[in-house]
Structure 1
Amino acid sequence: MMKFSFNVEDASQIFVGAFALAVPISFSEEAWRLGETLPTQNLLMLFSLSVLFLGLFTYQSVFQHNIKSRKFVFVSRIVIAYVMTALVVALVLFCLDKLPLLEDPWISFKRIIVISMPASMGAIVVDSFDKE
C-alpha cells in the first residue's frame, strides 16, 4: 500500500511555482477588476477549469498515469496544490493592499479565484519537476 508522500520539498515547490505566476498577475489592474465584475457562474467555471487542468497535469506528469492504487494521494495532491496556491495569491494581494477581506470578502474571494487559476498551473508544473 502506498503511503501519502508530501513533504517540505513538495510544499516549497508549490509555493515557488504559485508565487512565480501570482506575482505578475496580482500586479495587474485587469485581474483586480475582473475579480470585481466576474459573474458567479463564470467564477465557478474558472474554478472548475483550474481544478480540471490541475488534475490532468497531475495525472499525466506527476503520477504518470499511475493512480489506480493512489487515488487518495492523487486527489489530495490537487487539493493541497490549489489551497496552497490560493494562500500565496491571498498573501500577495494582501501585500499589495488589494485584498479587502474585512470591507468586501466576496471581492477578495473572487480575486483569489481569478488569480489562482494561472498560479495553480505554475505551482503544479514546478511540483512536477520532482516526480512522485
Structure 2
Amino acid sequence: MEQRVEIKESTIKRIGGYLHRVVPIADKSGDIISYALKPLMLEFKPRDIMQVIIGSALLAIPVSLTEEVWNLGELLPDQNVLAISILSLLLISIFVYFNFYKVTLKGYVTHFIKRVIGTYLISLLVVALILTLIQKCPWGFDNILAIKRIILVAFPAAMSGTLSDTIK
C-alpha cells in the first residue's frame, strides 16, 4: 500500500527584521511537526552594502596598484572598456539571480535590480577612491582615462564584492 504525504507550501515571513522562507516539516501522516527556516537575502540592506564595500576593496587594492592596469586604461579602446562594464553587470546579474532570486524573483524584481546596480556602483566608487588616493585617476586632466581605469579595476572588484555579499 502506497502512502501519500501532502507537502505543505513554504511561506515567506519577516523574522527579526529579515526575510525567511518558512518550510513546514510534516510526518508520514501529513501533520506538521516542525518548521525549517531559511534566510532569504532578497533585500539590499546596509549590512549587504558594507559586505560589498569590503569585498570590492579586497581585489580593488592589489589590482589598482599594478602598472599593467594603468597602461591598459590608456591603450584599450573605449568600446572595449564599455564591453567590460557590460560584462561586469551581466556577470553580477547572473550570480545574484542564481544565488538569491532564482526561486523568488517574482515580487522582488526591484530588489534584484537594486542589488545588481548597487553592487556595481559601490565597486566603482571604492575603486575610484583607491585610484584617486594613489593619484592614478587624472581628474581634471584626462577624465576619460580616469573612468577607463576605474572600470577596468572595478571588473574584478565587483566580482569579489558580489561574492562577499553572499556571506550571511
Q: Do they fold alike, i.e. is TM over 0.5?
A: yes
Instruction: Tell me whether 1:42 sits opposite 2:80 in the alignment.
Output: yes
* In structure 1, C-alpha distance between the alignment counterparts of 2:67 and 2:103, rounded to whole Å: 39
What residue ranges of structure 2 are gaps of 5+ in the alignment?
Answer: 1-13, 20-41
Structure having the higher strand fraction is: 2
Deviations 1:81-114 (A, max 9, x none): 0000000000110111101111110000000110
Q: 1:128 to 1:97 in 2, by over 3 A?
A: same
* 8 A Cα contact 2:58 2:157, kept in partner: yes
Residue 106 (structure 1) aligned to one of 111, 119, 144: 144
Q: Distance between the aligned counterparts of 2:104 and 2:69, measured in 1?
A: 36
Aligned CA-pair RMSD: 1.9
1:117 is matched with 155
CA distance in 2, matches of 1:114, 1:107: 11
Q: Which residue is equivalent to 2:98?
A: 60
**Runs of 4+ more than 6 Å apart:** none
Is the CA contact (8 Å cut-off) linking 1:59 and 1:66 kept in structure 2?
Answer: no
TM-score by length of 2: 0.73
CA contact (8 A) 2:44 2:114 kept: no
1:57 partner amino acid = F
**Are residue 11 (structure 1) and residue 62 (structure 2) matched?**
no
Higher helix share: 1
Structure 1: gaps (5+ residues): none
TM-score by length of 1: 0.91
Higher relative contact order (CA 8 A, sep 6+): 1
